[in-house]
A and B are shown apart, each in its own frame.
Chain A
Amino acid sequence: MFSEQIELRGHIIDSLILPKVLDEILGRGGNFRILEIRIGQERTDPSFARIEVSGASPEIMDDLVRRLRLHGAELVCEADVQLAPAPADGVFPEDFYVTTNQQTFIHFDGRWVEVRPAMMDSGIAVDRGPQTATALKFCDVRKGMEFVVGHRGVRVVPHQRSTARTDAFEFMASNISSEKPKSAVIREMAEEFRKAKRAGGKVLVVGGPAIVHTGAGEHLEKLIGWGYVDLLFAGNALAAHDIEHALYGTSLGVYLREGAVAEEGHENHMRAINTIRAAGGITAAVAKGVLRQGVMYQCVRQKTGFVLAGSIRDDGPLPEVITDALEAQRAMRSQLVGVTHALMMGTMLHSIAVGNMLPASVKTICVDINPSVVTKLADRGTFQAIGLVTDLEPFLRELTGFVGGPVKEVKADAPVAALPA
């Protein structure tokens, strides 16, 4: 909620200006709190009222204040934020304001400016020229940039989940534990994805190698092929094992179809990585016909954006993997614009890392066999995430079944597909 203080003076009781102003506030979707009122003692004495007016957005507030000024309301000026320059590259000024992942506005030069993107654990850089406020991480701080310090003039708009039961996110008011039925929830999720795509939403998948190990890769491949995934964030492992499966039928040396261990199977993922490195990368391997199936193949074929971030335990890595952690963060952040839904599966650290970059307004689902992953994600600040404790393969199989087919072929008003036999 945004609020401003207004003052009314004069014969506001005799003229009924006070009740008119209060009615106007309520009638235009605002709210008020009378902070102070002094009624004139004599008939000729003017009265005074100081009122806090609040509204859901700066636009509502602007409109309200403009209307109230017509009736004599004077705005009590909001204090501007305080700014201080960064003392060095990568160093915020002392007492810098630390952001949350919620929509944030700063009052600067007499008006409210939205901080973009809504990203937690950042400082707010203010550019006086175009009057922009940008959430920046340590690595992007440059000496002399001006940052918000203290809390004066900063407003955070708490993300509120609707109480109306209109989608899976309202439906899933609490995390779904391993002991609760999941089919109905997954069905709701399928509907949510379809609605998101119809509405022009952008779906991000954050995935760990367990997707491939559990044999769920083919379902994710299908979802990508059908056009439900716009962006994939993963590490070297997901891609390496997906490619291992595409080339050798195994994941970590285990045949996914039979569940049997392949002879010398532990070599397969190394050979797969080597093949891709020799081809010049995943995209090049698809172009050369070396890689013909799998999650990464579908990404390339569908032109689904992907960012593979490296880690110290990676083999290879695959050529597309970004090994500089800061560089990988930047690449991920740069692709997050417009993301409306995030599906995080089978990776704790990657999920937390991506959660840290997402605005609270992004609908986030975390699916993991380990209940603590969901809890950790929420505890690290991504409070908006809802969790489902289940194995990935049955989850993705059911989700794919409910989604029912490619985005373009599923009619807008078609019901979600029946549970596959």
Chain B
Amino acid sequence: MRRLLLCPPDYYGIEYEINPWMRRTRNAEPGLACVQWKALCDTLRTLGCQIDLLAPQPGLPDLVFTANAGLVIGRRFILSSFRHKERRGEEGHFERWFAEHGFEVVKLPPKLIFEGEGDGLFCGDVLFCGYRFRSDIQSHLFLTELLHNLVVSVELVDERFYHLDTCFCPLPDGSAIWFPEAFDGYGQRAIREHCASLIEVAREEAVHFACNAIVLERDIVLPAGCPGLCRLLDKAGYRTHELPMNEFIKAGGACKCLALLVPAR
């Protein structure tokens, strides 16, 4: 059974602008956001996931995006260190939850910036890590030494795809869904060299956060509005579950951003 950490969107909203999707003038509709989040929760439960909930906190609208809490490896939780001050208040809540649930909390050395599963995803035995907009590459060296794992650092070049999980989604067989334009040429080559095969997402679906999907073996939960990708995944033998995510896309997130794998490995 897959265990996931989610956080109800009680205090979710667009209260600041830290990525190109956010507009304070285009706030999320709270009722609709609740409905969309609940549908995600229900779908994940239906697919056999164990859902843990983090208590929402006033003043921390992005706490709902639990994928950015950190990276869980076995019983170790590597706590994120956020780029933007607006999100740094979340760190203490994530730290407390994992400590209370019996995890060893690992903090990054001072000045290292890393935003958890948002920028760190396993594909096969390789940990792919994105850098530039939200995480610094310096944090990848820390992960390399901590985990004794191959870490492939890829530079993100399109601010709309500011986290790795907005443009790259590993599949269980060592292949991945991706939107190549979000990476520089070196990153694209590195991904091609280390992934068994790649499913490319069209630009119009990439901006619908097609890559921001939760993969549960043969089931893939992804935002609605990505028919092209669904066809490709169906053909590859996956079952797709499309969910409306518009209210969260307003803040630059979708299915995967709303769930943290416990553990990722």
Which residues of A does B touch, CB under 8 Å? 9-11, 14-17, 19-20, 43-44, 46, 70-72
Interface centre among B155, B186, B190 (most CB of A within 10 A): B186
B87, CB-defined interface residue at 8 Å: no
**How far apart sit A71 and B155, CA to CA, in the bound complex (Å)?**
8
B153, CB-defined interface residue at 8 Å: yes
B141, CB-defined interface residue at 8 Å: yes
* B144:A14 contact, CB within 8 angstroms: no
* B153:A11 contact, CB within 8 angstroms: yes
B84, CB-defined interface residue at 8 Å: no
Q: Contact size class for B?
A: 20 to 34
* 18 A-B contacts (beta carbon < 8 Å): A10-B144, A10-B153, A11-B140, A14-B150, A14-B152, A14-B190, A15-B151, A15-B152, A16-B186, A16-B187, A16-B189, A17-B137, A17-B153, A20-B184, A44-B148, A72-B137, A72-B138, A72-B141
Known contacts: A16-B186, A46-B145. The answer to whether A11 contacts B150 by CB under 8 A is yes
- Please give me the residue from chain B that is nearest to A71 by CB atom: B137
Set A14, A16, A70: member contacting B137, Cβ < 8 A? A70
**How far apart sit A46 and B141, CA to CA, in the bound complex (Å)?**
8
* A10:B141 contact, CB within 8 angstroms: yes
B149, CB-defined interface residue at 8 Å: yes
Set A9, A20, A43: member contacting B141, Cβ < 8 A? A9
**How far apart sit A337 and B145, CA to CA, in the bound complex (Å)?**
55
Chain A interface secondary structure, helix, strand, loop or mixed? loop
Q: How far is the CB of A209 from chain B (nearest CB, A)?
A: 68
Across-interface contacts of A19 in B (CB, < 8 A): 186
- Please give me the residue from chain A that is nearest to B127 by CB atom: A11
Q: Which residues of chain B (155-188) have a CB below 8 Å from chain A?
A: 155, 184, 186-187
- Please give me the residue from chain A that is nearest to B149 by CB atom: A44
**How far apart sit A301 and B184, CA to CA, in the bound complex (Å)?**
65
* A72:B153 contact, CB within 8 angstroms: yes
Interface string of B123-155 (1 = CB under 8 A from A): 000000000100001101100110011111111
Q: How far is the CB of B150 from chain A (nearest CB, A)?
A: 5
- Please give me the residue from chain B that is nearest to A23 by CB atom: B186
**How far apart sit A17 and B185, CA to CA, in the bound complex (Å)?**
11
* A70:B132 contact, CB within 8 angstroms: yes
Top 3 closest pairs, chain A to chain B, by CB: A72-B137, A16-B186, A15-B153
* A43:B150 contact, CB within 8 angstroms: yes
Known contacts: A10-B151, A44-B149. The answer to whether A15 contacts B141 by CB under 8 A is no
**How far apart sit A44 and B193, CA to CA, in the bound complex (Å)?**
16
Across-interface contacts of B154 in A (CB, < 8 A): 15
**How far apart sit A72 and B138, CA to CA, in the bound complex (Å)?**
5
Across-interface contacts of B23 in A (CB, < 8 A): none
Interface centre among A14, A16, A20, A71 (most CB of B within 10 A): A16
Across-interface contacts of B137 in A (CB, < 8 A): 10, 17, 70-72
Interface centre among A9, A11, A15 (most CB of B within 10 A): A15
Q: How far is the CB of A228 from chain B (nearest CB, A)?
A: 54
* A15:B190 contact, CB within 8 angstroms: yes
Across-interface contacts of A11 in B (CB, < 8 A): 140, 144, 150-153
* B140:A44 contact, CB within 8 angstroms: no
B239, CB-defined interface residue at 8 Å: no
- Please give me the residue from chain B that is nearest to A18 by CB atom: B186
B2, CB-defined interface residue at 8 Å: no
Across-interface contacts of A72 in B (CB, < 8 A): 137-138, 140-141, 153
Set B132, B144, B155: member contacting A46, Cβ < 8 A? B144
Across-interface contacts of A9 in B (CB, < 8 A): 141
B83, CB-defined interface residue at 8 Å: no
- Please give me the residue from chain B that is nearest to A12 by CB atom: B153
Across-interface contacts of A20 in B (CB, < 8 A): 155, 184, 186
Across-interface contacts of A70 in B (CB, < 8 A): 132, 137
Q: How far is the CB of A14 from chain B (nearest CB, A)?
A: 5
Set A16, A17, A44: member contacting B150, Cβ < 8 A? A44
Q: How far is the CB of B180 from chain A (nearest CB, A)?
A: 15
- Please give me the residue from chain A that is nearest to B154 by CB atom: A15
**How far apart sit A16 and B138, CA to CA, in the bound complex (Å)?**
15
Question: Apart from A43-B150, A46-B145, what are 8 other A-B pairs with CB-CB below 8 Å?
Answer: A10-B137, A10-B141, A11-B151, A14-B193, A16-B187, A16-B189, A16-B190, A19-B186
B241, CB-defined interface residue at 8 Å: no
Across-interface contacts of B149 in A (CB, < 8 A): 44
Q: How far is the CB of B135 from chain A (nearest CB, A)?
A: 11
Across-interface contacts of B93 in A (CB, < 8 A): none
- Please give me the residue from chain A that is nearest to B126 by CB atom: A14
B76, CB-defined interface residue at 8 Å: no
Q: How far is the CB of B188 from chain A (nearest CB, A)?
A: 10
- Please give me the residue from chain B that is nearest to A15 by CB atom: B153
